[in-house]
Structure 1
């Protein structure tokens, strides 16, 4: 190892100290320890020996060469020196300054282009309007819930996803994204914190939690307050859209409870496992209520916690069983027509304003089964069972009651019918299930 020294001092004592600091033997080992050199020259309090020497000498390692200009690399202390020649890994001071200057200019150019594009984006946003009388029912309900969650910020200011925490128990950002993708809320870069928008590759990216949104202006130039008042008088017609919004909200309600239970028992689920559970729960919510699925979650999570304590098991292995356990539990419940228990809403787990608006419009809550919600939505928009649909049930009901009365089991049949309805099944399924049992 050879160190080339460039002295910046003419003081003989300082030069001697510097030479002794960098002196090495034939094997590259330093001849003297740093601790032995500390008292040779008096230094100001708080100044280290390496810093003192660095101010009076430039040291260059002959085993490190700049890959751009082939000049020796400057080192700051003993630990940066190499005993044998190294493949170039960094530039010399001059070349590094050139690279830094080029990088700085590139960053300035990117910042200028980012500013230009954001200005153009804001200009285009300012020309966009929405005919709120034409937006889908589910978006109306979501906007009403958002307004209630962040009043008065939706109508007279900007808001972030963090401001919307009261909207739903979970997946708040997804609900806001629905409105953004529909063009009902717009980004407002002028109100965002510095650094919210940035370059990544050749595209503009953003930190979603810092984006500031605002309500899109009305095509008829109504004020934001007038827009919300107009939505309150909406006549709903889209049963499928409303029911799907209820499913979105209910999935969030169930998954919030799952998250709390997993946190309680230190179960760490992967994103893939959570997505699998979300899919299972969304399907189950078409039949059961949120509170019934809370009871399923409660049981499965505790089963996994118990499993984690067994020999040859651990927390990750036990947690990995949760998605499958939930699916199999629900399959058994439906196959055997088991009535699920309903859990009460935890005190620390509020429904959110979306749940409150759905309750006010439809009269549903966490205890309303998916079958019942579907029927209520259909009835609410005036698409209740037609005479034809009711007529299709007349004959099976008449046949069932005839058989029940003939065998003097009317009470048993009615109790079983009530049990199936409470379990989340619709009328048609319940009649068919009891009829098959009587015929077997």
Structure 2
């Protein structure tokens, strides 16, 4: 092993120390230990021997050459030296400097191109307008809820995802994505912190938590606060869209409770398991209330916690049983017509502004069953008395009444019909259920 030294000092003592530091025997072993050399010369407090020598000497390893120009590679300490000649992946100082300069120029060009594209993107965003009188019913409710969550930033400036935390118990980003995809909420690069947008290969990426959003301009050039006020007078007509929004929100409400319970018992669920539970809960919410499904979650999570203490089980295995236990529990409830208990909303688990808006528009809360919500949405949107619905129900009603009178159970049928409607069933499903009972 041969080290070529380039002295940067003329002090004889320092030169002697440097030569002794790099001196090796015929086998390439260093002649003296660093600890033995450290006290040979006075150094400032906090300065190591290696850094002291590096400031006074450039060392080049003759066993390593630059892959680009074949010059010797500069090394900073003993551990970087090689005992035998070998290819180096490291460039020499000059080549590395040239490469860094090229990389810096490329980086500057990328930064300039990013700035150009973001400026163009912002210009195009500003040119887009929205006819707020024509937006979907579910988007009206989302905007009203978002306004409450970020007031006054929705109508007077920009806001981030972090500002929207009060919108819903969970999945705030998903609700925001619905508004972005509908073109109602735009991101504003001019107001974002530096580094929010960046290059990843040839594509522009962004840090979602740092993106600044704003309400899309109105097609009639009204101020943002005027737009929000106009949404308060909306006449709702889309029963399916409103019920779907209630399901989205209610799933978030249930999953927030599941998250809290799992944290309490140190259960960790995979993304796949959480998606499975979300699907199960969304289906169940068409029948039950949020508070009833909280009781299911409470029971299942505690069962899993008890299971974790058994022999041959652990926390991970026990947590993996939760999706299946929830599904089987709900199947048993439906099969045996078990009445689910309703849990109260925890103090640390607020409903969110979307829950408040849904409550005011539909008259629902966590205790309202999915059947009842469906019925309320149908009446709110005028679907319950539409000509199409009446035409579809005409024949089933005639058949039901004919059977009831033929079996002399007219009074019982009417009482059962009233009972099902009070429970939240739609007219069609109530008629179908009674009809099946009469045919059996």
- TM-score, shorter chain, exceeding 0.5: yes
Q: Secondary structure at the match of 2:58?
A: strand
What root-mean-square deviation, in Å, do the aligned CA atoms of Structure 1 and Structure 2 show? 2.7
Candidates 387, 393, 396, aligned match of 1:392: 396
Q: 1:254 to 1:424 in 2, by over 3 A?
A: farther
Tell me by how many angstroms 1:404 deviates.
9.9
Q: 1:87 to 1:251 in 2, by over 3 A?
A: farther
Report what 1:263 is aligned to: 263
Is the 2:375–2:425 Cα contact (8 Å) retained in structure 1? no
CA distance in 1 between counterparts of 2:51 and 2:5 reads: 15
Is the 2:161–2:172 Cα contact (8 Å) retained in structure 1? yes
Report what 1:431 is aligned to: 434
Unaligned runs of 5+ in 2: none
Q: Secondary structure at the match of 1:97?
A: helix
Report what 2:206 is aligned to: 206
Q: Give the 5 Å matches for 1:36-435.
A: 36-384=36-384, 386-387=389-390, 389=393, 392-393=396-397, 396=400, 427-428=430-431, 430-431=433-434
CA deviation string 1:57-110 (max 9, x = no partner): 111123332222222221111222233444422211111111111111111000
Q: 1:433 to 1:44 in 2, by over 3 A?
A: same
Structure 1 runs of 4+ off > 4 angstroms?
385-388, 393-406, 413-426, 432-436
Tell me by how many angstroms 1:171 deviates.
0.6
CA distance in 2 between counterparts of 1:92 and 1:134 reads: 65
Q: Secondary structure at the match of 2:133?
A: coil
Q: Secondary structure at the match of 2:132?
A: coil
Unaligned runs of 5+ in 1: none
Is the 2:261–2:301 Cα contact (8 Å) retained in structure 1? yes
Tell me by how many angstroms 1:254 deviates.
0.8
CA distance in 2 between counterparts of 1:299 and 1:430 reads: 30
Stretch deviating more after TM superposition (337-346 or 158-167):
337-346
Q: Secondary structure at the match of 2:154?
A: helix
Is the 1:417–1:430 Cα contact (8 Å) retained in structure 2? no
CA deviation string 1:119-174 (max 9, x = no partner): 11111111111110010100011000101111111111111110011100001111
Tell me by how many angstroms 1:320 deviates.
1.4
Q: 1:92 to 1:428 in 2, by over 3 A?
A: farther
Is the 2:396–2:431 Cα contact (8 Å) retained in structure 1? no
Is the 1:290–1:369 Cα contact (8 Å) retained in structure 2? yes
Query: TM-score scaled by structure 1?
Result: 0.91
Q: Secondary structure at the match of 1:297?
A: helix
